[in-house]
Structure 1
Amino acid sequence: MTALPTTRDAGTPLVPDALDVRHDAFTVERRFDAAPATVFAAFADDATRRRWFRLPGARVDDRHEFRVGGGADATSAFTLPDAAPERLAYHSHYLDIVPDRRIVFSYTSTVDDVPRWASLVTVLFADDETGCLLTWTEQVAFLTRTGDGRDDFPHLRGGTTLRLNGLAAVLHPGH
């Protein structure tokens, strides 16, 4: 039997157990003072998307093809204090796009070539009284835990919140 690969995260080994997949889901809602078409365009336009949808660390490579069947690939190196740099990779695939209304995509996240999680994401763009209500729903399968895994879900949800903060900063500079 071949052992599964392991790596580290802030000095803590990842726990590789092929039968120990943790499933979870979360939804984040954000209101923007912009039309749904404007918020949707921030996902579709490459130059705008790069300003808010990025990996931590020094970006090494980035590709984005916004169409059903297309996707995005990004890699970066992230250095923690007193640790070797981590190699981060993000790979997504667009499954459904309804202009100005909905994006459905799947993605995987890897650290040092070890798959950490796979997700299915639905992003909805709805009119509301102030502009656009964005609803991000993510269903995740954690494939490799960090330590006991208790920080993996808060890490992912927090990262999504930070990413949407970046979207707000792009849509509303100076606010």
Structure 2
Amino acid sequence: MELDAPVHGTATLTRDLAAPPDRVWAAFADLGLRDRWFRIPGKESRHELDFRVGGGETATGVFAPSGEPELVEWRSRIFDLEEHRRIVFAYELSVDGLRRNVSLVTVALAPEAGGTRLDYTEQYVLTALAGEPGQDEAHLRGSLQFLLNRLEGALGERQEAPARLR
């Protein structure tokens, strides 16, 4: 459903990871590692990564979460990289050709207690809704939790304390 006015918001999530910053960085920078935790599920899934300033990432797939097949397209552009410390990118998410949201994301990595503190901040604008107002924001926030759970799994970790979402 298209919106009369876009919905703006910010989601911030923090994780304390056992892996050192260079391993966490590699999980973002290396397509083989990134595929372990970030991909669009379903048929005809495709994933490309050009991890450099000016590069970006494309992930597409066809799946049917509600019974009807949907083409999901995720496209990003990388604006800033500070090795082992910071990643800044923007992305858009479209479903069946309709742009649902556009976001600016900062991933900050800092050494902490032999591991890494990861701060993920996403400033988003919803341009179309899948359901009722509020559901899409909750879905976006839940997806971030799920995504970082998968990152931990790809790093071979289990987090005892849940992420803190603000």
Q: Give TM-score scaled by structure 1 length.
A: 0.86
> How far apart, CA to CA, are the structure 1 residues paired with 2:123 and 2:8?
7
Aligned residues: percent identity?
A: 38
Does residue 66 (structure 1) correspond to residue 78 (structure 2)? The answer is no
Q: Report the CA distance shift for 1:59/1:159 in structure 2 as closer, same or farther (over 3 A).
A: farther
Q: Report the CA distance shift for 1:50/1:110 in structure 2 as closer, same or farther (over 3 A).
A: same
Which whole-Å deviations, capped at 9, do the CAs of 1:133-170 have from their partners, x for residues lacking one?
A: 00000000000012332200110111111111111001
Q: Residue 129 of structure 1 aligns to which amino acid in structure 2?
A: A
Shift of residue 129 of structure 1? 1.4
Structure 2 matches for 1:23-172, cutoff 5 A? 23-81=8-66, 83-172=67-156
**Corresponding residue pairs, total:** 159
Shift of residue 38 of structure 1? 1.0
Q: Tell me which stretches of 4 or more aligned residues in structure 1 moved more than 3 Å.
A: none
Which whole-Å deviations, capped at 9, do the CAs of 1:50-83 have from their partners, x for residues lacking one?
A: 11011232343211100000000111011135x3
Which whole-Å deviations, capped at 9, do the CAs of 1:105-158 have from their partners, x for residues lacking one?
A: 000000000000000000000011141000000000000012332200110111
When the two chains are superposed, the root-mean-square deviation of aligned CA atoms in Å is: 1.5
SS at match of 2:5: coil
> How far apart, CA to CA, are the structure 2 residues paired with 1:58 and 1:136?
29
Q: Residue 66 of structure 1 aligns to which amino acid in structure 2?
A: F
Q: Report the CA distance shift for 1:22/1:167 in structure 2 as closer, same or farther (over 3 A).
A: same
Assess if the C-alpha contact under 8 Å between 1:77 and 1:86 holds in 2. yes
Gapped runs of 5+ residues in structure 1? 1-13
Assess if the C-alpha contact under 8 Å between 1:31 and 1:130 holds in 2. no
> How far apart, CA to CA, are the structure 1 residues paired with 2:43 and 2:82?
32
SS at match of 2:141: helix
Q: Residue 97 of structure 1 aligns to which amino acid in structure 2?
A: L
SS at match of 1:52: coil
Q: Which sits farther off after the overlay, 52-61 or 104-113?
A: 52-61
Q: Give TM-score scaled by structure 2 length.
A: 0.90
